Amino acid sequence: MPFPALPIANRGEIAIRIAQACADLGIRSVAVYAEDDGTCLHTRKADQAVALAGRGLNAAPRPTRRDGKKRPFVDTW
């Protein structure tokens, strides 16, 4: 196996499908979720679930730009 586990940083139906595909392929899956998503189905379908500190959009750190400022959630191209 090329990697020990596949992290799933998504939620809802797509996360459930990814976890199922991992199970079918014999790959361990790890759901990463915000605290308020702890009871959602996608966290139970993965082999392991890891909670991030915080709730909702504040749970995950936002990427920073080169100048150190936080990036907006939606980039305009």
pLDDT digits (tens, 9 = 90+) for 5-28: 999 988 889 999 999 999 999 999
**Contact assessment for residue 5 and residue 23, using Cβ atoms and an 8 Å cutoff:** no
What is the predicted pLDDT for the residue at 47?
95
Taking the CB of residue 63, how many other CB atoms lie within 10 A of it?
A: 8
Q: Domain of 26?
A: 4-53
Q: How many domains in the chain?
A: 1
Separation between Cα atoms, residue 75 and residue 77, nearest integer Å: 6
Answer whether residue 27 is part of any domain: yes
Judge whether 71 lies within some domain: no
CATH code where residue 47 lies: 3.40.50.20
Three-state secondary structure call for residue 21: helix
Segment 41-50, tens digit of pLDDT: 888 999 999 8
Cα separation values, 26 from 19, 55, 62, 64, Å: 10, 31, 32, 35
Give the Cα separation of 51 and 33 in Å (integer): 5
